[in-house]
């Protein structure tokens, strides 16, 4: 079994249509080290690999938007192979182009739609119009296949982030049994629940209330009873669980420190790719910073690394108060009853439903 690595590789998107200078990534890593007073080791290792340019089209399902009167609910929630990361070929260095696509929408009844085929990158400045459920670029299949070769589990995903991804009410119930949730009209998601069984309730070393990019990369916060000396919570999680996919949800705890978030999230992405784990980035529902700068950074990194983006922000826009409690930070709660129009006016069941849809799309793309 190939050993895990935490060594970042400068801008290693194998399917990128552009190649930024190596110095940009190295400077970002250096900036993170200076800001956090944590030494960061970077030993670039790259190799040539051909780019695959055609994405995979998958079917997705979008949540119900009901006109039912909403009901306030109280909640006490808080908040490899190196080949897969090789430099893009010279032909892939053409100027960045943006595609016009048909974006998903919320309907009054469940409706199957086909995700748009992405032949060029989406514009990060237009991230609010990106689809909720992403289309996986075909080049990410190389990351997935290399991960299988090094021992990653094709039926495992992990969670990386703060309280909105480590909370017990995020996905956990899908490992507890059918009596804990109601798929309603989304029975097509049942095979996804069965396929990824065990990951929904998995307690990730890299997901914890109060976590941010700095803490996820801090070896002093790794569990000494489970992690090896020098491991960060992230590298410890990757060694122990060997996932093929990682849901990454961060940003709310760093709304006033975007200069720390960006290089930290970049290092997290590169560590995942170095270990052939597909990073699935997520936008956040809140806008505490008031200018959407955090989601813009997240979308920019998703575009740069050709990583799939779960646009959760867009999923909650039709909900009352955009799915936020009075503090404009925490999500409104209701049980996972996807057949209950009142429940589906709250953010947490929509978060769980769209997360399942993202996992279904990933599974469809790689098989």
Q: What is the DSSP string of 149-189?
A: HTT-EEEEEEEEESHHHHSTTSSGGGGT-GGG-B-TT-GGG
What letter does residue 41 receive in the DSSP assignment? -
Average pLDDT over residues 329-349: 97
User: Computed over its alpha carbons, how large is the radius of gyration of the chain?
Assistant: 19
The CATH number assigned to the domain with range 22-366 reads: 3.40.50.1110
Measure the CA angle with vertex 315, ends 310 and 319; round to 5°: 160
Question: What's the pLDDT at 121?
Answer: 75
Q: Is the pLDDT of residue 79 over 60?
A: no
User: Does 331 or 99 have the greater pLDDT score?
Assistant: 331
Cβ pair 254, 268 in contact under 8 A: no
Q: Is the pLDDT of residue 80 over 50?
A: no
Q: Where are the domains of the chain?
A: 22-366
Question: What's the pLDDT at 67?
Answer: 31
Mean pLDDT of the chain: 77
Which two three-digit tokens encode residue 335? 């049980």
Cβ pair 180, 173 in contact under 8 A: yes
**DSSP output for 260-309:** HHHHHHHHHHHHHHHTT-EEEEE--S--TTSS-HHHHHHHHHHHHHT--E
Go through 46-67 and write b for each residue having 16 or more CB atoms within 10 A of its CB, e for each that does not.
beebebeeebbebebbbbbbbe
Q: For residue 215, which of 40, 36, 77 has the smallest C-alpha distance?
A: 36
**Main-chain phi, psi angles of 194, to 5 degrees:** -70, -40
Report the alpha-carbon distance of residue 231 to residue 217 in Å, rounded: 9
Question: What's the pLDDT at 42?
Answer: 31
**Main-chain phi, psi angles of 155, to 5 degrees:** -105, 20
Q: For residue 231, which of 242, 241, 218, 244 has the smallest C-alpha distance?
A: 218
Beta strands in the chain (DSSP E): 59-61, 112-114, 153-161, 243-249, 278-282, 309-310
Cβ pair 195, 363 in contact under 8 A: yes
Q: Tell whether pTM > 0.85.
A: no
Question: What's the pLDDT at 347?
Answer: 98
Of 1-5, 136-140, 160-164, which range is least confident?
Answer: 1-5
Confidence of residue 122 (pLDDT cuts 50, 70, 90): confident
Q: Is the pLDDT of residue 183 over 60?
A: yes
Q: Name 163's Cβ contacts closer than 8 Å, sequence gap at least 6.
A: 77, 78, 79, 208, 209, 210, 211
User: Does 273 or 61 have the greater pLDDT score?
Assistant: 273
Confidence of residue 40 (pLDDT cuts 50, 70, 90): very low
Q: Is the pLDDT of residue 90 over 50?
A: no
Asked whether the CA dihedral 52, 54, 60, 63 is positive or negative, the reply is: positive
Of 73-77, 189-193, 194-198, 292-296, which range is least confident?
Answer: 73-77
Confidence of residue 245 (pLDDT cuts 50, 70, 90): very high
CA distances for 282 relative to 31, 92, 109, 165, 274, angstroms: 23, 26, 25, 10, 20
Q: Is the pLDDT of residue 342 over 70?
A: yes
Average pLDDT over residues 163-191: 96
Average pLDDT over residues 255-270: 95
Measure the CA angle with vertex 272, ends 315 and 330; round to 5°: 35
Confidence of residue 172 (pLDDT cuts 50, 70, 90): very high
Average pLDDT over residues 1-18: 46
């Amino acid at each position: 079994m190939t050993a895990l690595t935490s060594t970042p590789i400068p801008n290693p998107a194998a399917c990128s249509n552009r190649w930024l200078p190596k110095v940009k990534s190295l400077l970002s890593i250096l900036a993170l080290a200076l800001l956090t007073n944590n030494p960061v080791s970077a030993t670039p290792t790259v190799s040539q690999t051909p780019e695959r340019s055609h994405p995979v089209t998958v079917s997705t399902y979008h949540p119900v938007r009901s006109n039912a009167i909403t009901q306030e609910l109280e909640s006490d929630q808080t908040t490899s192979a190196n080949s897969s990361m090789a430099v893009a070929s010279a032909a892939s260095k053409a100027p960045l182009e943006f595609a016009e696509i048909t974006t998903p929408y919320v309907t009054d009844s469940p409706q199957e739609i086909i995700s748009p085929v992405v032949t060029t990158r989406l514009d990060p400045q237009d991230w609010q119009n990106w689809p909720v459920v992403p289309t996986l670029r075909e080049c990410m299949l190389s990351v997935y296949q290399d991960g299988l070769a090094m021992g990653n589990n094709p039926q495992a995903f992990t969670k990386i982030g703060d309280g909105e991804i480590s909370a017990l009410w995020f996905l956990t119930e899908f490992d507890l049994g059918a009596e804990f949730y109601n798929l309603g009209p989304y029975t097509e998601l049942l095979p996804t629940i069965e396929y990824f069984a065990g990951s929904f309730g998995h307690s990730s070393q890299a997901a914890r209330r109060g976590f941010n990019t700095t803490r996820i990369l801090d070896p002093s916060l790794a569990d000494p009873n489970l992690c090896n000396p020098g491991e960060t919570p992230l590298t410890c999680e990757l060694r122990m669980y060997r996932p093929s996919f990682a849901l990454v949800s961060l940003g709310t705890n760093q709304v006033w420190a975007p200069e720390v978030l960006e290089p930290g999230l970049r290092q997290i992405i590169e560590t995942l790719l170095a270990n052939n784990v597909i990073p699935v980035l997520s936008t956040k529902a809140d806008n505490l910073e008031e200018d959407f700068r955090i989601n813009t950074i997240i979308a920019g990194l998703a575009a740069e690394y050709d990583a799939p983006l779960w646009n959760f922000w867009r999923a909650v826009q039709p909900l009352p108060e955009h799915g936020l409690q009075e503090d404009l930070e925490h999500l409104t709660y209701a049980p996972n009853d996807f057949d209950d129009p009142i429940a589906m006016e709250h953010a947490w069941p929509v978060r769980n439903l769209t997360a399942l849809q993202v996992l279904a799309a990933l599974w469809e793309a790689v098989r």
